[in-house]
Chain A
Amino acid sequence: MRLISKFCLLVSSLVVFTSHAAVWEDSQVWSLQYEEEFSTWMQSNAVNETMFTNPASVYHGINTDCADTSYALRAIFAFEHNLPFFIYSPSGERGDSKTINNRQSKWDYAGSNTKRLIAMINEIGDSVGTENLAHFDTFPVAIKNISAGSIFMYKISARFGKFIRHAYNIKSINPVGTFDVIYSTQANKAKGLPLIRRKEKEFDNNPTTAPWGFRKFRWPDHLGKGLSTIPLELGPSEEQYTLAQSLGQIGFFKMIRKALASSNESATERLARSFKSVCVEAQARIDYVNQGLLHAKETSNKCMNYEEFDAYSTPARDQSLKELFEKFKAAYSEASTEGSLNSVSPQIREFSEIIFQNKTVANTDLLAACPISYRPGVSIDLAILWKRINNNLLSSHPNDSVEVRWGETSKGSTRCKRWY
Chain B
Amino acid sequence: MSLFFSKDNKSLALFPLAPSTLLNHSLINSPETLTAKDSLPPQGENECLKHQQHYSQLLQKGSLQTSLRFENIHKKIGADIYRLRFFFKDGDEGERQSFLVYLEDQQANANIIEKSTYQKGKLFLKIEKAQGEILYREKGFTHDSENKNLFLQTINDQLVKISGPGIDCQF
Contact = CB atoms under 8 A, between A and B. Distances in A.
B93 A232 contact: no
B92 A186 contact: yes
Nearest to A224: B170
Contact of B14 (A32, A235, A241): A32
Interface string B10-43: 1111111101101111111010111011111101
A185 interface: yes
B133 interface: no
B120 interface: no
B38 to A, nearest CB: 8
A238 B40 contact: yes
A241 B165 contact: yes
A221 to B, nearest CB: 5
B170 A255 contact: no
Interface string A83-94: 000000011111
Given A30-B13, A90-B85, A135 B163 contact: yes
Given A29-B13, A92-B72, A243-B32, A145 B22 contact: yes
Interface size class of A (residues with CB under 8 A): 35 or more
B163 to A, nearest CB: 7
Interface string B76-92: 00000001010111111
B17 A33 contact: yes
Contacts of B11: 29-30, 219-221
B111 interface: yes
A186 B89 contact: yes
Interface stretch (A6-14, A72-80, A313-321): A313-321
Nearest to A314: B93
Contact of B23 (A93, A145, A242): A145
B84 to A, nearest CB: 9
A17 B94 CA distance: 45
B168 interface: yes
The 5 A-B residue pairs with the shortest CB-CB distance in the complex, in nearest-first order: A92-B72, A239-B39, A106-B109, A162-B94, A94-B136
Given A31-B14, A91-B72, A238-B41, 18 more contacts: A29-B12, A30-B13, A33-B17, A65-B90, A90-B87, A91-B110, A94-B136, A129-B88, A143-B28, A163-B95, A187-B91, A210-B165, A225-B170, A226-B43, A228-B41, A231-B13, A258-B30, A313-B93
Interface of B: 4, 6-8, 10-17, 19-20, 22-28, 30, 32-34, 36-41, 43, 69-70, 72, 74, 83, 85, 87-96, 98, 100, 102, 105, 107-112, 115, 117-118, 135-136, 138, 140, 149, 151, 153, 155, 161, 163-165, 168-170
